[in-house]
Amino acid sequence: MNEFSTLVQFFFSGLTSGSVYALIAVSLVIVYKVSLLICFAQGEFFVIGALTMVTLTSKGLPMPLAFACSVLISAAVGALVERFLIRPIRDASVGSLIVMTIAISLALRGLALLIWGKESKILPPFSAGKPIGVFGATLQPQVLWIIGITILVLLVIWLFFEKTTMGVAMRACAENRLGASLMGISTEKAAFLSWAWGSGIGALAGMAVAPLLFMQYSSGVMPMVKGFIAMSVGGLASIVGAVVAGYLLGVVEAYTIGLISSQFSDTIVFTLLIIVLIFKPSGLFGATRSREV
């Protein structure tokens, strides 16, 4: 491999992890916008999605069916968590709610340990096929799947929140609760749906990347942290910001690992985060919000 193809190789690995960070960040943003809550259990949905799919495919379910079922199961788990664990303490302080989502995260991790055990599982790639050579670098077909799924998810999100009445109603809830209530929109239903969306998308991220990783019950921790970073850098409430920041983070991280040090990559990435937040506390895409009356 020459120097250029090495750089291309790093870029591919940046796109791969960037897709994962972007998807997790988007899932966090959707929950945050509608229920003003950061769900720290998002990493667990990443794991639940992937491991459910491992189980379903090993039971002989065809890939597309296993894929759809895993997304739906994860989304249902997220929606149930909202309904029975978050909604009863809706009016509690932000602190209590955050502690609650952390507790949910640990509980779900324990549940995953109980169901799937300690050992790592690997999901077969979505399609057979040899790695593709691009500028001397190799590209796994699964990476194309990951990027394709990310693009598709973003398209579906856009269509839902722009074109469907329910999606528009959820945005209305996110922007102005009072106004939304007066239209007869149930803010509870919106929060419920936002959790279903969030956990479904988090699961998709895990499922897409599972064939490239060893997935076990605790694999969601780092992706969650990185997704959260992408969310913050993207401005907390911006889907576009989350996507751009997710990919930026993935690519910066890949080049840091490749060119500087794999040992210190997290340190370097987190230092960059600190610098961004010091100079731009509202994130790269955070609008300075002014409330008009």
Write out the residues near another protein by the rule CB under 8 A. Answer: 165, 168-169, 171-172, 175-176, 178-186, 292-293
Q: Which is nearer to another protein, 2 or 189 (CB)?
A: 189
How buried is 98 (Cβ within 10 angstroms: 0-12 exposed, 13-18 middle, 19+ buried)? middle
Q: Which is nearer to another protein, 143 or 239 (CB)?
A: 239
Alpha-carbon gap, residue 104 to 157, rounded angstroms: 25
State in angstroms the smallest separation of the CB of 87 from another protein. Answer: 15
State in angstroms the smallest separation of the CB of 185 from another protein. Answer: 6
Q: Which is nearer to another protein, 59 or 163 (CB)?
A: 163
- C-alpha distances (whole Å) from 91 to each of 5, 174, 260 are 54, 16, 47
Q: Convert 4-17 into a string of H (helix), E (strand) and C (coil).
A: HHHHHHHHHHHHHH
| Residue 154 CA from chain centroid, whole number | 12
State in angstroms the smallest separation of the CB of 97 from another protein. Answer: 20
State in angstroms the smallest separation of the CB of 182 from another protein. Answer: 5
Alpha-carbon gap, residue 282 to 276, rounded angstroms: 9
Compute the radius of gyration of the chain from its Cα atoms. Answer: 19
Q: Which is nearer to another protein, 14 or 241 (CB)?
A: 241
The closest alpha carbon to 37, from 76, 78, 93, belongs to 93
Q: Which is nearer to another protein, 3 or 292 (CB)?
A: 292
State in angstroms the smallest separation of the CB of 33 from another protein. Answer: 10
**Taking the chain, what is the end-to-end CA distance rounded to the nearest angstrom?**
61
Q: Which is nearer to another protein, 158 or 214 (CB)?
A: 158
State in angstroms the smallest separation of the CB of 186 from another protein. Answer: 7
